[in-house]
Amino acid sequence: MPLNTFIEISKSYMAKPSRDFIKYRDGKAKEWSPRRADAEYPEYHQQQIDPKQTKYTQNTYAADTIWEGYGVCDYKQFAKAGFKISDNTQKSILNGTTQKIVVWRWSNGNRWDPLQEGKSVGYDIMGIVDAQEALDNSYIDEKGDRRCKLF
């Protein structure tokens, strides 16, 4: 079912991860996985290039950015099965912190290629959806993950 509040953006970006991001990513990779840590890059990069987006700092796991005009946003990577809504994201939506979800994908067919300092990488911001609507239209997949399909 299409989400009623989906705002299509369809904007592509090319960027080169900085030494600062790689250090940040390497720290997160110890806590998570390298793939998940690399998935922090679009939100990190957007905070660097878009003066309307700033890092959300009140709770590390609640959201990613404060985006002027949209509110508190959480970035989620697109997947055919639907983007994941983690337990932390669900709590953040339910307590009113996260207002929007920004859906993105890697530009190379959404395949993960480990990020390297100074090596160009592309990603696409697909759009923004109301977080509560995404949660309301989510489902539990066969692995037990909560997901929301955009289309």
Q: What is the pLDDT of residue 58?
A: 83
**pLDDT for the residue numbered 4:** 63
pLDDT of 88 strictly over 80: yes
Round the average pLDDT of the chain to a whole number and report it: 92
Residue spans of the domains in the chain: they are 7-148
| pLDDT tens track for 46-74 | 999 999 999 998 876 678 899 999 999 99
Note the pLDDT tens digit of each residue in 90-132: 999 999 999 999 999 999 999 999 999 999 999 999 999 999 9
- Check if the beta carbon of residue 125 is closer than 8 Å to that of residue 9: yes
Cβ neighbours around 32 below 10 Å, total: 14
Q: Are 115 and 22 in contact (CB under 8 A)?
A: yes
Question: What burial class does residue 38 get, using C-beta atoms within 10 Å of its C-beta: 0-12 exposed, 13-18 middle, 19+ buried?
Answer: buried
